[in-house]
Amino acid sequence: MRLKCIKLRFTIKGAALSVYKVAVVGAGPAGYFTAQAFQKAQRDDLSFAIDMIERLPTPWGLVRSGVAPDHPKIKTVSKVFEKITKEPNFRLFANVELGKDVSLKDLRDQYDAVVLATGASTGRKLGIPGEELKNSISAAEFVPWYNAHPDFSDVEVDLSSDTAVVIGAGNVAMDVARILAIDPTELDPTDVAEHALAKLKQSNIRTVIVCGRRGPEHAAFTAPELRDLPKLENTDVYIDSKQIKEAFKHIEEMDEVEKDLRSNIEAMKAIAEHEKKGVARKLEIKFLSTPIEIKGNGKVEEIVFQRNKVKGGKVVATDQMFSIKTGIVISAIGYDSMEYPGVTIESGRIRNIAGHVEHNVYAVGWAKRGPTGVIGTNKSDSTDVVDLIIDNLKEPKTSEGITTLLKSGHEVIDQNAWEKINSSEVISGENAGKPRLKVVDWKQLISLGRS
């Protein structure tokens, strides 16, 4: 890799220009919006040299390995990311792992600021008996499996039963449920992983039941995603209209009802009332059901729930239980940030105050605030942290940056190599009538970058 030496202070039209070196760790939405915020903050006397470091040989984070393949519009944000990379002060260092190839301490020493945009990739646990049974899977594994993440191609997914249960009432649970419930031929024109599509085409699952522990008025789904459900062509979607009527009663008792909450309940009412097509594929959303135990002999066979009710605005357990016979349980109940040397995880995220971690280290995105918000939420979040960084900047350091830290011969996927991978995937996708054919194998990705 060619070494770019950065002069630290020089003068343009009389103004002293300070060039600060910043490392952004994690090439997902929060990382790119941080890079963009640094670019936008540049002035005659202030400039940034941005090095983006990414563990995988491919960038884009959850836009590549999280966003559902049947939601291609959400992925168009990658065009914004690629525009950011065109600026001369941006460099990509993919296939470089923090904690293994470079340490946080070394980055701290080499850069004026280090921004951790490392997300939250560990699926939260239900903590109930039977959770460890075969085919009880976290969305943190299932989603990257169907999205061709190189670390998850080997996840064992058995779709031989007729019913699947998804735990959680958030957008990830909805993505997972939709992928299991739609006719897999609907995924033909998408960038879903080839191995997942083949498995989904053999799936016996015809009923998918999404279970939320609280009521519709507490669900974490968002209205646009809910409104899409009745439009599914080959799947009937069910919500018990009694639960929706109850939810309307409860929100009328509230002092103030947020607009988003009302539109969520309206969207769920539309689902409940929507005329069914009478097709074999069903997706049901069930509320007020807390999972208590997963049962099975070596593998998932049944899941037991406690029924809840809403009393005085609070969700309380009843003494009623019910169970669902199922061969697969997927829990989509949120994520925690992964631990690595040099950071402390507290309440599932990197310990920080308004993005400041310690010294010249900062956090953004899910690593900073936990797994909340949509992709766009990261834009304002990253801008706030970059403003804070700028306030805290001292004299620019006289150091070389990451190139002095990597072992000689370490194969970096830089922007040029990534563009080769990207165009190869897009070209093979064109031939197959898809936006891209994702390469799953790590070594193959690296060799494509070399080509």
Residues that bind ligand NAP (CB under 6 A): 71, 126, 167-173, 175, 212-214, 218, 220, 222, 225, 332-334, 371-374
| Amino acid type, 394 | K
CB of 68 to ligand NAP, least distance (A): 7
**Side-chain half-sphere CA neighbours of 373 within 13 A:** 19
Question: What letter does residue 218 receive in the DSSP assignment?
Answer: G
CB of 126 to ligand NAP, least distance (A): 5
Of residues 214 and 277, the one with the C-beta less far from ligand NAP: 214
Of 418, 402, 328, 450, nearest to 56 by C-alpha is: 418
CB of 334 to ligand NAP, least distance (A): 5
Of residues 49 and 166, the one with the C-beta less far from ligand NAP: 166
Q: With contact defined as beta carbons under 8 Å apart, do 335 and 122 qualify?
A: yes
Of residues 102 and 173, the one with the C-beta less far from ligand NAP: 173
User: How far is the C-alpha of 77 from the C-alpha of 117, rounded, in Å?
Assistant: 17
CB of 393 to ligand NAP, least distance (A): 31
Of residues 50 and 300, the one with the C-beta less far from ligand NAP: 300
Of residues 11 and 347, the one with the C-beta less far from ligand NAP: 347
CB of 167 to ligand NAP, least distance (A): 5
Of residues 91 and 218, the one with the C-beta less far from ligand NAP: 218
Q: Mind giving me the DSSP string for 304-337?
A: EEEEEEEETTEEEEEEEEEEEE-SEEEE---EEP
Reported as type and span, the H/E element at residue 367 is helix 365-369
Of 209, 198, 206, nearest to 234 by C-alpha is: 206
User: How far is the C-alpha of 373 from the C-alpha of 172, rounded, in Å?
Assistant: 12
Quickly count: other Cβ atoms within 10 Å of residue 392's Cβ.
13
| Amino acid type, 271 | I
> What are residue 24's DSSP bridge partners?
52, 115
**What length does the chain have?**
451
Q: With contact defined as beta carbons under 8 Å apart, do 9 and 396 qualify?
A: yes
CB of 331 to ligand NAP, least distance (A): 7
User: How far is the C-alpha of 328 from the C-alpha of 139, rounded, in Å?
Assistant: 12
Reported as type and span, the H/E element at residue 50 is strand 46-54
Of residues 59 and 371, the one with the C-beta less far from ligand NAP: 371
CB of 171 to ligand NAP, least distance (A): 4
Of residues 216 and 396, the one with the C-beta less far from ligand NAP: 216
Quickly count: other Cβ atoms within 10 Å of residue 72's Cβ.
14
CB of 307 to ligand NAP, least distance (A): 13
CB of 275 to ligand NAP, least distance (A): 25
User: How far is the C-alpha of 350 from the C-alpha of 338, rounded, in Å?
Assistant: 9
Of residues 49 and 310, the one with the C-beta less far from ligand NAP: 310
CB of 389 to ligand NAP, least distance (A): 25
Of residues 35 and 332, the one with the C-beta less far from ligand NAP: 332
CA 36 vs CA 28, 85, 225, 276, 370: distances in Å: 12, 9, 28, 46, 21
Residue whose structure tokens are 């940056």: 401
